[in-house]
Amino acid sequence: MQSLRSIFKTQSSARLLNFILISSSVCIIYLVVSVFLVNNSKSSNIFLSSSHHVSSPTTLEHIVFGIASNKNSYPNRKDYVKLWWEPRKMRGCVFLESLPQDAESYKNDTSLPSVCISEDTSRFRYTYRGGLRSAIRVARVVSETVALNLSDVRWYVFGDDDTVFFPDNLVKTLSKYDHQLWYYIGSNSEIYAQNKFFSFDMAFGGAGFAISAPLAKVLAKVFDSCIERYPHLYGSDSRVSSCLLELGVGLTREPGFHQFDVRGNLFGLLAAHPTAPLVSLHHLDHIEPIFPNMTRIKALEHFYEAGNIDTGRLLQQTVCYDRWFSWTISVSWGYAVQVFGKHIYLPDVLPVQETFKQWKRGNVLAGVYTFNTRELHHDPCQRPTIFFMDSVSSEKDGKILSIYKKSYVNCSVDIGSPRKLEEIRVVSPKLDLNIKQLQAPRRHCCDVLPTSVGQVMEIDIRECKEEELIQMHPQ
């Protein structure tokens, strides 16, 4: 009996031990799985939060501007800044070397950005013969804008006091890019020689350029050391570009930023704008008013009136053909319409007309541009008839009506000549492209509408059909 009792006791102990081991294993597995699920949930939440942050729309509130100026030029150029600055939505500074005499008037003017005084740069060497050492101060606008330490910044945008921006188009353009990555976005000069001398990999500062926030913060930390290595460079933008190259970052080109290293009549460049949002214009003091019989500021204000109604379509070029008179019509929305007295192949319409003058004379490369051009006919009467934008309005059906009036040239007029026209009316839908459409832009189509009014032409702009060609009608 004693032996059986011992055996039973031993078996009971073994069962108890097995039970304890199994229970312990189950508990351990439960704890491991629980920890894994919790961590996985946290990772998922972090991922979702990050994804949500990336996908949330970029707005003007996410951009900080650094505008380079000086106390002598700013009083004359502040009206350019007023054209595009939106006080309630924008953040940033105009950087001056010292306060102007009427400093109080700037502090009280809410239509302008705040004035910031640049730090002393006398410790840096500048050895470019004939250049301006203020280029160092202007270059440091980048690091000093970052040093403002503003919150929730995705992009830093820099320009000159004679750079005008089109804010909504700037936001659209930057929205194509992930602001959490390192981006340096801008454009080159229109002049081949300027790019060859300075760099094809440099964003020209007058056109304006954008740097994503994480890149800008790193750049600000190392920028002074870069400035010390490049005393021989001419301009501020060269210093910014060189330091970014040392960080391993190249230029991402966006054709909507415009340096405009030309003089005189800008019509040819504006009328042949690429299929990209208009982001900036520069060198406004060196060009004629963009609309005839107006001052520079009044002409730009008139242009912004169209931009306030449909900024996305500004300068977007649409070409269509008139069946009845064999005319070719080119609409540069919000600016001008050109009517050619004959049918012209589309590739022959799109090149830029050389209405402007060279930036510098004497250099054989000064007239070599970075885009296709065509010469103006020596006889003004053989050139297209031009109609400049007169008014833009939103219609009840959601469409937009823009009206263009003829710019007069004393030429003979016959029944088949577009010069008999006095007015062109253009109806269009508002152009609000999504990110995919911005990444793969396509020119829109237009139709010449039948009209009973002999001196008025009506144009309807629309999206092209999938297989539609912008082509001449068969003769």
Do residues 331 and 236 share a domain?
A: no
Q: For residue 49, is it within any domain? A: no
Residue 379 and residue 440 in one domain: yes
Nearest to 402 by CA among 296, 343, 318, 298: 318
Same domain (yes/no): 211, 141: yes
Q: Are 225 and 361 in the same domain? A: no
Phi, psi of 82 (to 5 degrees): -60, -25
Question: Looking at residue 165, what is its pLDDT?
Answer: 98
Convert 361-391 to b/e letters by CB count within 10 Å (16 or more is b).
eeeeebbebeeebeeeeeeeeebbbbbbbee
The span from the CA of 237 to the CA of 271, in Å, is: 28
Asked if the structure places residue 306 within a domain, the reply is no
On whether both 332 and 252 belong to a single domain, the answer is no
Structure tokens at 3: 């032996």
Do 70 and 204 lie in a common domain? Answer: yes
Give a yes or no: residue 104 inside a domain. yes
State the pLDDT at residue 419.
Answer: 87
Instruction: Report if residue 12 sits inside a domain.
Output: no
Query: Residue 177 maps to which CATH number?
Result: 3.90.550.50
pLDDT for res 100: 80
Crossing angle of the two packed helices 296-310 and 74-84, in degrees rounded to 10:
20
Model confidence over 33-60: pLDDT tens digits? 444 444 444 444 433 333 334 468 999 9
Pair (123, 260) in one structural domain: yes
pLDDT at 17: 47
Within-domain flag for 280:
no
SS3 state at 448: strand
Q: Let me know whether 71 and 132 are in one domain.
A: yes
Q: Find, among 380, 453, 397, the residue nearest to 421 by Cα.
A: 453
Return the beta strands (E) in 238-396 as ranges: 252-253, 262-264, 280-281, 317-322, 327-332, 336-340, 352-353, 356-358, 373-374, 385-394
Question: What is the reported pTM?
Answer: 0.86
Q: Is residue 120 part of a domain?
A: yes
Residues in CB range of 56: below 8 A, 6 or more apart: none
Strands (E), 333-455: 336-340, 352-353, 356-358, 373-374, 385-394, 400-406, 423-428, 445-449
Whether 373 is in a domain gets the answer yes
Alpha-carbon 203 to chain mean position: 12
Q: What tokens appear for 175 in the block?
A: 């929205």
Identify whether residues 93 and 197 lie together within a single domain.
yes
What's the number of domains the chain is made of?
2
Per the structure, the complete domain to which residue 368 belongs is given by 311-462
The residue among 216, 244, 271 that closes a domain is 271
Is 235 among the domain residues? yes
CA dihedral (292, 298, 302, 307) positive or negative:
positive
Whether residues 213 and 353 fall in one domain? no
Burial of 400 from C-beta contacts in 10 A (0-12 / 13-18 / 19+): buried
Residue 339: predicted pLDDT:
96
For residues 264 and 412, membership in a common domain is answered with no
Q: Which residues of the chain have pLDDT under 70?
A: 1-55, 103, 415, 452-453, 474-475
Whether residues 257 and 344 fall in one domain: no
Per residue in 178-213, is it b (16+ CB within 10 Å) or e — as a string? ebeebbbbbbbbbbbbbbeebbeebbbbbbbbbbbb
